[in-house]
Structure 1
């Protein structure tokens, strides 16, 4: 299974470099290839740095036709307060 996933990933990468962006790409078995360029690591680092929290999750989602990174952090409470779970959407 890992080999098939790697093959599909390699095919997708090669096709993305060779074909125009508007062209629809397919694998040899007919599966449509969708280019996903959303990498939320930078957005996650930014939110963690700004909040001083601990990263719980980071995922790319589509909201209103736009790709955003949804970042969830656990922010420490002050004094005896419990930590707060904070979710932030960052545009790509």
Structure 2
């Protein structure tokens, strides 16, 4: 036996009915700037591979890179730089 809800949903879809738009709160936090330039500079300076770049509330970026080792494990380095 089919559910009445499924039947109503199918009928509404076939009729071209479109539900009203729902205004959901945004999960995106805006900041004054981004860390892309700071991260690029750290990668260029260290020759490492970017792991992460996070903005902080004080206008800086926390950038983490992996720096290749000499045949061993890479070294993980985290630096705080201005945005």
Task: Give the TM-score band, short-chain normalised.
Answer: 0.5 to 0.7
Unaligned runs of 5+ in 1: 10-33
Higher Cα radius of gyration: 2
- Cα distance in 2 for residues equivalent to 1:51 and 1:35: 29
Unaligned runs of 5+ in 2: 1-22
Per the alignment, residue 59 of structure 1 pairs with 54
Alignment of 1:1-92 (within 5 A): 4-5=24-25, 36-62=31-57, 66-78=58-70, 80-92=71-83
**Larger relative strand fraction:** 1
Q: Secondary structure at the match of 1:69?
A: strand
Matched pairs, number:
62
Asked which structure has the greater RCO (Cα within 8 Å, sep 6+), the reply is 2
Deviating 4+ runs (over 6 angstroms): none
Please, what TM-score do these two structures have when normalized by structure 1? 0.56
Please, what TM-score do these two structures have when normalized by structure 2? 0.61
